[in-house]
Structure 1
Amino acid sequence: MLWVLLLLVAWGAAAVSCIRLCLVTAGAAQRQPCGPREHTPPELNLYETAFLAGGPHRVADLALVSMHLRRRLLLAHTGWATVVDPEGRDEVERTVIRAIGPGGQSRIAPIRASAAAADAVRTLADRLVAAGLAVPHGTRTTLESAVRSVRGAAVLVVALAVTAMLMPGQEADQAGLVASWFGLPLVLTLGCLAIARVENPPYSPWASPTGQRWLDSLPAPVHGADRDLLAAVAVRGVGAVQDPALRAALLSGPRS
């Protein structure tokens, strides 16, 4: 009857992880605003839209593409960025130039990472959180951690079930009984993940419900003008870039 001990472990892992996910989801729902706040801006700039759609790294990508299109920066398909105009138009562009360094040339991947973690992007994020458009960092990471723990519990249940069924001395009819008992915590974890997916649709993890409604209301950009390309990059990311050389430059190196 050693399999009973394994079953208790499976039930414990499933119950604890599912309860934690339910509590985190309920707490996040209580903290989310029911509708737009009085001070919600009527229109967001492209940096703010990029953050809601893809987070700080999307903001860095947008700045790099914008500077490249305006000949302030040269992005090579080899993954290097070269400063052409050292005067940034805004704080995000100035952050990118500082990330490149005094030599005027650097790999794109570290530039992107440094710009995404800069104070200018954090200030932008704080402004969107205060307006009720972005999800606070702590809420987002806690929810992601809770979902991962439920997934881990589901994998653990399956592993324990296989171990219990393969233990020596098991009779043929008992294997079916063991599988059915382990099926209950597995159904619990999978059901909890399904409910969490319904309650938290696979939209942007950075935008609150109000921010997501803003993103959904944006018209589809018409290809042709630089402004339309920048809007597409803000909403859809580097995949919206049609120039293969520019896309290769932006996709070079590690990406989070």
Structure 2
Amino acid sequence: MFWLLLLLPAWAVAGLACTRLCLAALRAAAREATDTAGHGHALTLYEAAFLSGGPRRVADVTLVSMARQRRLLLAHTGWATVVDPRGRDEMERSVIGAIGPGGQSRIAPVRTAAAAADSVRALADRLVGAGLAVPDDTRSVAAAVRRVRLAAAAVCALGVAALALPAPDDMPRLLIALWFSLPLALTLGCLAITRMEVHPYARWASPTGQRLVGALLRQAGDPADERAYLTSVAVRGVHAVGEPDLRAAFAHREEYLGEHQRRRG
């Protein structure tokens, strides 16, 4: 009866994951039903950046905006140098503060520090209050779906392990497989229902926020226009940066992050 010792955790993993998914979906549906204020909201550049890529995207678009205005130099080597120390808004002042009193720093730590600034947190709170950004509980829908997928894989692995054990004389292997198919059917059924019934929540934007971001991008107009250019960067990320030197600067940022993570590992 060793297979029962594997069946019990299979049911526990599947049941817990599916319960969390159902609760997260219910909270998300309740919030969507009550959040209507954001439909007529006109997104700012920073708001579009947050809804598209979160706090780090806000830092990226701030860096690109300041660099194009020649108030910040982003070298192709991955360094940021302050040219104009007077920030025009809270986001720019956060970036300048992250660079430090020396006026020069690597881009990667500047981006990380600026993304964690109070101004970005206040922006996130405003967007959540307007029903445009997803709060932590709603954001957990995507995380709950991932947990159910992992639970399905775990049930399969436990089932294979149970079938590999010596089976009792009075228990056919087919019956053991059928017992494990029940928690597997539970997880797969929850995933199927979620795919049909629950909105495909992005990591940062609510369905209303996603629609506003899409409309903003469609209305961006001429790519040569500064506003349209920065809007594209806010929505698509630094991959939309057109200048080779700026792209090289952010490419160095990714290399720095990779090297830093390897050292920590």
Please, what TM-score do these two structures have when normalized by structure 2?
Answer: 0.85
- Secondary structure, aligned partner of 2:80: strand
Structure 2 portions without partners, runs of 5+: 259-265
Structure with the largest fraction of helix: 2
Structure 1 portions without partners, runs of 5+: none
Q: Deviations over 1:94-119 (max 9, x none)?
A: 11000000111111111111111111
Cα separation, partners in 2 of 1:42 and 1:156, compared to 1, 3 Å: closer
The 1-side partners of 2:192 and 2:75 are apart by: 43
2:185 is the counterpart of 1:187: yes
The 2-side partners of 1:201 and 1:250 are apart by: 33
Report the AA paired with residue 51 of structure 1.
F
- Over aligned residues, Cα RMSD in angstroms? 2.4
The 1-side partners of 2:179 and 2:87 are apart by: 63
Question: CA contact under 8 A between 1:241 and 1:247: conserved in structure 2?
Answer: yes
How far the C-alpha of 1:135 sits from its partner, in A, is 1.4
- Secondary structure, aligned partner of 2:172: helix
The 1-side partners of 2:173 and 2:248 are apart by: 53
Question: CA contact under 8 A between 2:17 and 2:151: conserved in structure 1?
Answer: yes
Q: Counterpart in 2 of 1:7? A: 7
The 2-side partners of 1:210 and 1:166 are apart by: 50
Q: Counterpart in 2 of 1:30? A: 30
The equivalences for 1:23-172 within 5 A come to 23-34=23-34, 36-37=36-37, 42-140=41-139, 142-169=140-167
Please, what TM-score do these two structures have when normalized by structure 1?
Answer: 0.87
Q: Counterpart in 2 of 1:212? A: 210
Cα separation, partners in 2 of 1:227 and 1:214, compared to 1, 3 Å: same
Question: CA contact under 8 A between 1:54 and 1:204: conserved in structure 2?
Answer: no
Structure 1 residues 21-30 or 239-248, which shifts more? 239-248
- Secondary structure, aligned partner of 1:254: helix
Q: Deviations over 1:75-111 (max 9, x none)?
A: 1222211111111111101110000001111111111
Cα separation, partners in 2 of 1:195 and 1:169, compared to 1, 3 Å: closer
Cα separation, partners in 2 of 1:166 and 1:244, compared to 1, 3 Å: farther
The 1-side partners of 2:57 and 2:124 are apart by: 12
